[in-house]
Amino acid sequence: MENIIEVKQLMKSFSNKTALRNVSFNVKKGETFGFLGPSGSGKTTTIKILTSQLLHTAGNVNVFSKPLSKKKNASMMKRIGILTDNSGLYDRLSIYDNLLLFCKLYGVSKKRIGQVLEQVNLENDQNTVVKELSKGMKQRVTLARAIIHKPDLLFLDEPTSALDPVNTKHIHEGLRQLNKEGTTIFLTTHDMTEAEELCDRVAFLHNGEIQALDTPQNLRLHYADSGITVLLKDKRTISVEKDETGAEQIYQFMKNGELLSIHSNEPTLGDIFVKLTGRVLS
Ligand SMILES: Nc1ncnc2c1ncn2[C@@H]1O[C@H](COP(=O)(O)OP(=O)(O)OP(=O)(O)O)[C@@H](O)[C@H]1O
């Protein structure tokens, strides 16, 4: 399948710090790719490089099969949507007027405003001035702005960090729909449940390098321990090995009518994150 992003041996140094040492990965057309890592691991730096906001120190980076150049490529930027901390919204304008500006910038019909406001659950707030919005509402307007031109490639840096569970669910549905319609998504998040729900593949970044990259399912299998947890009717929980002895134990529990349920000890993405990075999730 065609790669939308190709990154080979990417390195980024700031004056006193190397943020990215040797990062290589591809993002395939149509997938939702999760870029996960602890605070300070270089996720935002990577997004800034991929969106031409920052120059890399070494390595090769192709977006839409073209190498990134020092000068922003206008036609490429039109195919990209970006949501980062820096909202880029005009505080004194209403939500509607902010989005109208972006419609004009991208040559998009203003009919699209209603559609994106519905997608981010703000259809009743379009006349509110941006400076009066809560953090979560502002994040949703920023997302509406990022998707107003139906980008081919969408970069999302912590898209639901300020949202309550209801709005998070709504945004997830919107992102799934956008992805179904053909938008490739590059997502950073601290929320491992979000990564499990949305991402086709995830990469774990730590110490400036990718420590693991695969589908959530393959990662769970790879990092699974060899045990099986058996829950008995008298509420006892017993761990057995996946071998002949374990099979015999389970057989006996079943034969005696003691067995309630059996679970494979698969780790969550959160468990894998902790294992790979040594950091505890907040
Ligand atoms: N302009 C800069 N000058 C110097 N160092 C920087 C600069 N931008 C980022 N860094 C450093 O690069 C490293 C990676 O930062 P980055 O913001 O990419 O991390 P992150 O993974 O996005 O973190 P978070 O999850 O907290 O947003 C950090 O150590 C940070 O201090």
Residue 14 alpha carbon, nearest atom of ligand 1: 4
In angstroms, the CA 282 to CA 8 distance is 31
Q: Which domains does the chain have, with CATH numbers?
A: 3-79+151-220 (3.40.50.300), 225-265 (no CATH)
Helix (H) or strand (E) holding 117: helix 111-119
CA distances from 185 to 31, 34, 64, 146, 159 (A): 6, 8, 13, 12, 11
Torsion (CA) 272, 273, 279, 281 in degrees, nearest 10 = -110
pTM, full prediction: 0.85
Helix (H) or strand (E) holding 217: helix 216-222
Which pLDDT does position 112 carry in this prediction?
Answer: 94
pLDDT per position as a tens digit, 113-171: 999 999 888 999 999 999 999 888 888 999 999 999 999 999 999 988 888 898 888 88
Best residue among 11, 15, 16, 17 to mutate for probing ligand 1's pocket (most ligand atoms within 8 Å of CB) is: 17
Among protein residues, the one whose CA lies closest to atom 9 of ligand 1: 45
Is residue 265 within 8 Å of residue 224, measured between CB atoms? yes
In angstroms, the CA 279 to CA 42 distance is 15
In angstroms, the CA 213 to CA 220 distance is 12
Residues forming a β-bridge with 23: 10
- Residues 29, 10, 269, 195: is their CA dihedral positive or negative? negative
pLDDT per position as a tens digit, 34-64: 999 988 899 999 999 999 989 999 999 999 9
CA–centroid distance, 41 to ligand 1, in Å, is 7
Is any ligand 1 atom within 6 A of the Cβ of residue 160? no
Looking at residue 49, the DSSP 8-state letter turns out to be: H
In angstroms, the CA 139 to CA 142 distance is 5
pLDDT per position as a tens digit, 195-254: 999 999 999 999 889 999 999 999 988 888 778 889 999 988 888 888 899 899 999 999
In angstroms, the CA 15 to CA 150 distance is 37
**On the CB side of 230, how many CA atoms lie within 13 Å of its CA?**
18
Among all chains, which residue has been given the structure tokens 């910038």? Answer: 105
pLDDT per position as a tens digit, 173-191: 889 999 999 999 999 998 8
Q: Computed over its alpha carbons, how large is the radius of gyration of the chain? A: 22
Helix (H) or strand (E) holding 35: strand 32-36
Is any ligand 1 atom within 6 A of the Cβ of residue 37? yes
In angstroms, the CA 79 to CA 73 distance is 10
Is any ligand 1 atom within 6 A of the Cβ of residue 45? yes
Is any ligand 1 atom within 6 A of the Cβ of residue 141? no
Does the structure's ipTM exceed the value 0.95? yes
CA–centroid distance, 194 to ligand 1, in Å, is 22
Conformational region of residue 58, where left means phi above 0, alpha means psi within -120 to 50, and beta covers everything else: beta
CA–centroid distance, 46 to ligand 1, in Å, is 9
In angstroms, the CA 122 to CA 141 distance is 8
Among protein residues, the one whose CA lies closest to atom 3 of ligand 1: 14
